[in-house]
Every structure is written in structure tokens, then in C-alpha cells.
């Protein structure tokens, strides 16, 4: 997609409606900085806000993604091209989010293990496998609790990223869907495959993560 062209089109439509960037941002519940980034081609409007943006500017999604007004003759052709572009963009964004999950997960795990090892280093050197709380200094207990909270928060955020990214595919019926956050969080997993029950065929199995699908998810 030509972000520069789309940005100029958004700016043009906004001005036709006699709206400032701040006024448009207020209607959409975002910052005028976000609108500015759209219009300069630095960012694209999020998919979740595109419909509302189009309503305000009185254009349709295909015109927004094409960066120009469309005649009926060109509408079908551009609709198909824009759908392909959206699919490609969705897959790219999902890959970035999964990569971010891996990075956050690794960093938080390494940080937590190193912190715990450092706190218990002197006791481990003495050959003690288990260290009672009453043998730890007060500040060490505090650091241990804070580190644990940070680690658990990071893991929860990682699971949230995985849940919000793409879909899961049932190994039995091949249907794709978005499970509940609880189902993802509690499910045993191998990599990005999680053992869950399919809402379609009701069979349990390791459902693999798919970043994009041609089928509509439920």
C-alpha cells in the first residue's frame, strides 16, 4: 500500500469536511499526533478504526486503501487488490507481534533467573539447595517478590500478545477461530501450539497458531 498517497487522501478528505486534525482525532477518540502520522505517511490507520474514519470522511474502505475516489468501473478491481494488501499487512503485523512475544519472554525469563541466582548465590555456594525465608535478608525478599511480579506480568503480557495475534487451527476439522484468553492461558503448549478443545468439532488437540487465514474466524 502507498502510505504517502493514502495519507494525502486522508488530509484532502479531512479538509473537504472542514475538520482540523484535532477535530478529526476527537471524533475518533485518538490523538491529533496519530492523525498527523497518517497524513504524512508514517503510519496507517489501525484496522479497528478504519470503518469509523471512513464514516467521518464519507468514503469507503476501498477508497481509503486506494488513496483516491473510485468509480464503479474500478471498484471491483481495487477491492480485490486492497483485500490482498490487507491480508499481507495483517500477516506482517502478526509476525512482528509474535517476534515481540519471544523477545519479551526470553528477556524476562533470563532476568528473573539471574536475579534469583544472584540473591541466593552465597547460600548455593554453601551447598544449600533450599533456602528458608527466615535465612534471607529483608531487602532480598523484597527484590525476590518484585522480580517475581515483573516476571509473571511479562508472561501474562506474552500470552496476551499470542492470543491477540492471528488465529488457531483445529487439527481435526481444520477450522480456525479465536479462543478465549482463559483457554489460551491455561492450555498446555509446545511452541505456539496449544492443547485446547475446538468450538466446532468439540475435539481436543494441539491447535497451531496461524497468522492469517482465508476463512473468516469466529
Distance CA 148, CA 155 (A): 11
- Count Cα neighbours of 200 within 13 Å in the Cβ-side half-sphere: 15
Q: In this structure, what are the phi and psi dihedrals at residue 121, rounded to the nearest 5 degrees? A: -60, -45
Contacts of 89 (CB under 8 A, 6+ apart): 1, 44
- Grid coordinates representing 73? 468501473
Predicted local distance difference test score (pLDDT) of residue 197: 93
Confidence (pLDDT) at 128? 52
Contact criterion met (CB below 8 Å) for 2 and 68: no
pLDDT the model gives residue 34 = 92
Domains and CATH numbers, the chain: 3-66 (1.10.260.40), 103-210 (no CATH)
What is the distance of C-alpha 215 from the center of its chain? 20
Model's pTM, two decimal places? 0.52
DSSP 135: G
Segment 114-150, tens digit of pLDDT: 988 887 765 544 555 555 545 556 777 788 889 999 9
How far is residue 200's CA from residue 53's CA, in Å, rounded to a whole number? 34
pLDDT of 61 reads 83
CB 162 within 8 A of CB 196: no
CA–CA gap between residue 214 and residue 192 (Å, rounded): 20
Question: Radius of gyration (Cα) for the chain, nearest Å?
Answer: 24
SS3 210: strand
Residue 211 near residue 190, CB atoms below 8 Å: no
Q: Output the 3-class SS for 40-94.
A: CCCCCCCHHHHHHHHHHHCCCHHHHHHCCCCCHHHHHHHHHHHHHHHHHHHHHHH
Residue 80, pLDDT score? 63
Predicted confidence (pLDDT) per residue in 16-25, tens digit: 999 999 999 9
Amino acid at each position: 500500500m502507498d502510505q504517502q498517497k493514502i495519507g494525502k487522501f486522508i488530509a484532502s478528505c479531512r479538509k473537504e469536511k472542514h475538520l482540523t486534525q484535532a477535530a478529526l482525532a476527537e471524533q475518533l477518540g485518538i490523538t491529533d499526533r496519530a492523525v498527523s502520522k497518517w497524513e504524512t505517511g508514517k503510519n496507517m490507520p489501525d484496522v479497528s478504526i478504519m470503518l469509523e474514519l471512513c464514516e467521518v470522511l464519507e468514503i469507503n474502505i476501498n477508497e481509503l486503501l486506494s488513496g483516491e475516489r473510485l468509480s464503479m468501473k474500478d471498484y471491483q478491481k481495487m477491492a480485490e487488490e486492497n483485500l490482498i494488501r490487507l491480508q499481507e499487512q495483517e500477516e506482517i503485523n502478526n509476525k512482528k507481534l509474535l517476534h515481540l512475544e519471544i523477545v519479551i519472554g526470553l528477556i524476562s525469563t533470563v532476568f528473573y533467573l539471574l536475579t534469583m541466582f544472584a540473591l541466593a548465590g552465597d547460600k548455593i555456594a554453601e551447598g544449600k539447595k533450599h533456602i528458608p525465608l527466615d535465612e534471607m535478608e529483608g531487602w532480598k525478599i523484597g527484590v525476590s517478590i518484585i522480580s517475581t511480579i515483573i516476571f509473571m506480568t511479562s508472561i501474562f503480557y506474552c500470552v496476551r500478545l499470542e492470543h491477540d495475534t492471528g488465529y488457531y487451527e483445529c487439527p481435526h476439522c481444520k477450522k480456525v477461530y479465536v479462543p478465549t484468553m482463559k483457554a489460551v492461558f491455561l492450555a498446555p503448549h509446545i511452541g505456539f501450539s496449544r492443547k485446547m478443545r475446538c468450538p466446532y468439532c468439540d475435539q481436543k488437540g494441539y491447535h497451531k497458531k496461524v497468522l492469517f487465514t482465508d476463512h473468516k474466524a469466529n
